[in-house]
Amino acid sequence: MNAQPDGRLRHLRLSGMAEALPGRLQQAVAAGLPHQEFLELLVEDKLARRADRLFARRLKQAGISQVKEFTEFEATAHAEDRACAARLESQDSRIAAFMCCATRSARISL
């Protein structure tokens, strides 16, 4: 990739887009993607990178060192736990257990 667009993207604080650009360019050429779809893919890459970094930062601030997927949890037989599990299941599976366990009587065995 040309150093000038890379530098400009980084100057605009779009380093994630700059990192994804070479791969997406190859994909666009190989698949014959229209310009709009190519740009949409780049923007999606950047948004995903920002969301991942925000999630990691929030985990660090909360002092959580280990994250489990929803499928790794075994809820106990309590009704409140089942309700909590249903709420978690309806959300992104990367949501940390503390979101649900913070309720006063929810019990999820890790």
**Distance in Å from the first CA to the final CA of the chain:** 46
Q: What angle do CA 30, 33, 36 make, to 5 degrees?
A: 150
Residue 32 confidence (pLDDT) above 50 = yes
Length of the chain: 110
State CA 55 to chain mean position distance: 7
Q: Scan for tokens 């909590």, then name that residue.
A: 84
pLDDT at residue 65 in the model: 82
Residue 110 confidence (pLDDT) above 50 = no
Backbone φ, ψ for residue 67 (5° rounding): -115, 135
Q: Which helix (H) or strand (E) holds 4?
A: helix 3-11
pTM of the model: 0.57
